[in-house]
Amino acid sequence: MRSDIIKKGIERAPHRSLFKAMGYTDEEIQRPLIGVVNSVNEIVPGHIHLDKIAEAVKTGIRMAGGTPVEFGCIGICDGIAMGHEGMKYSLASRELIADSCESMAIAHSFDGMVFIPNCDKIVPGMLMAAARVDVPSIFISGGPMLSINKNGTQLDLNSVFEAVGSFKVGAITEEDVAEYENNACPGCGSCSGMFTANSMNCLTEVLGMGLPGNGTVPAVYAERIRLAKQAGMKIMELVEKDIKPSDILVPEAFENALAVDMALGCSTNSVLHLPAIAHEAGVELNLEMINTISSRVPNLCKLAPSGPYHVQDLYMAGGVQAVMKELTKQNLLHLELITVTCKTVDENVENVEVKDTDVIRPIDNPYSPTGGIAVLKGNIAPNGAVVKRSAVANEMLKHTGPARVFNSEDEAIDAIYGGRINKGDVVIIRYEGPKGGPGMREMLGPTSAIAGMGLDKDVALITDGRFSGASRGASIGHVSPEAMEGGPIAAVKDGDIITIDIPDGKLNVNLSKQQLEERMVEWKAPEPRIKKGYLARYSRLVSSADKGAILE
């Protein structure tokens, strides 16, 4: 066992003494030691209940003959951090999470690891750590929040953000906003649409690192507790068979994840996180691969914000495994891959069926023949930009309009709420990338304001930052290279004509190469916004978005 290095032999008597100081018995010390990484806290709705998940996991480990060793991990709530300085820390926290999990796992020589994430950056951060540490590992999330119906509308967090925009234009009253506020988030769990948290939990299942149901069983269902116990038992089998992340996170597993990403219509943030996880696993994954897979995998689901359904509906329709089963009908998945079930993908989906063809469309009757995410390139995004195509109104798939340029999210929000954005405009928000932000703020505020004001079929947004998985409309993010690195988005001026062609993958400003170069000769990088602390260090090391915003 890996843990023998800290517990076997006379030389390790001091180490065993420290275990005994915590109440561990000789029998417990002799068993395989399983690290249980619990990101429970009292500031994230998706994490408030993870103590119950951890207890179930530890029960499962003990039932299967192991000794669980629980430790904590930070987690930031993107919703609470949204729209202010705190959002600069969200993406950056992914690296802290990966580093802290790596530190604990290796320093204490655990034989196996159970990771308990739920929300936005915690899931990819832990996946990065699992790939890096490479001991037998399994993931069990806290599960999605429920969406409830109020006055004929299924609500979620995005409903409240959009309600603010509606209030600003006088479409609803303050009392109406309070109604949304009090009902949109009815309890614990990751926010109920196919936003970033649920996207990554579903893709963890597809990658083979979570048990079937990991992405969709609601947080408040007893089935979630049973699944956690099963994860605790299953880690012992993974340890016994020495099945490690490196056996599971192979190139074909990432191709499967991208295929299901396109079928589900996941958050554009998945395009930021999957390359980062692949990097840790030693697998190459670039934007060209994403577009290639998107071009051949149909979009089968319209989950919020793209459509009326929520993750609980996906669960009732058969879950992620049912989507995978549908994709097998056109040979769009690699089926021979091993997963944490200790079975192959093929064995996992063998007896699965779609139970609701409205929620999961048949593969011969998709919402669109191409995937939910598109990568765009052009003279303001030579290395690429990303859009959630499935959440774009048909009217905005192709759009030409004048640029309205802002050098921060805050400036853009002031203009939107101030009524200074007109139909047809293309809002450019720059210096919000990984280096420029720093931290590549997620901007649900501007997109939900535009949608709440009824302009999502008339106004586009383009940024070197990123958008929330809850964003809808022609919201194009991850423009690379970013403005802070001298990317051509820094040369765009108010009134320049921007052309967006999502079906053809194009994003351009109506300027010649010479004109762009002449403007960039005069360009000078602004002073960093933050000059001390973690974010200052982060901004010096972080890569561009097209590389997954990894630390180099």
Q: Active-site positions?
A: 468
Encoded tokens for 270: 């998945």
Is the peptide bond prior to 245 cis by the omega test (within 30 degrees of 0)? Answer: no
Residues 52 and 525: their CA atoms lie apart, in Å, by 49
Query: Rounded distance, CA 203 to CA 285, Å?
Result: 15
For residue 68, what are its two tokens? 């669980």
Q: Residue type at 395?
A: E
Chain centroid to CA 254: how far?
14
Question: Quick one: CA dihedral 440, 390, 305, 323, positive or negative?
Answer: negative
- The backbone torsions φ and ψ at residue 2, rounded to the nearest 5 degrees and listed phi first, read -60, -35
Taking the C-alpha atoms of residue 158 and residue 149, their distance in angstroms, rounded to an integer, is 14
Q: Which residues share a beta bridge with 378?
A: 381
Where does residue 522 rank: exposed (0-12), middle (13-18), buried (19+ CB within 10 A)?
exposed
User: Is the separation of the CB atoms in 101 and 123 below 8 Å?
Assistant: no
Beta bridge partners of 500: 399, 507
User: Could you count the other beta carbons within 10 Å of the beta carbon of residue 359?
Assistant: 24
The letter for the amino acid at 406 is F
Give dist(CA 189, CA 178) in Å, integer: 21
Residue among 219, 13, 17 at smallest CA distance from 116: 219
Tokens read off for 302: 């319209």
The neighbour count for residue 134, using CB atoms within 10 Å, is 17
Write out the two tokens for 129. 């750590």
CA 498 to chain centre: 28
361-391 per-residue burial string, b: 16 or more CB within 10 A, e: under 16? bebeebbbebbbbbbbbbbbbbbbbbbbbbb
Contact yes or no for 181/155 (Cβ under 8 A): no
Helix, strand, coil in percent for the chain, rounding step 5: 45, 15, 40
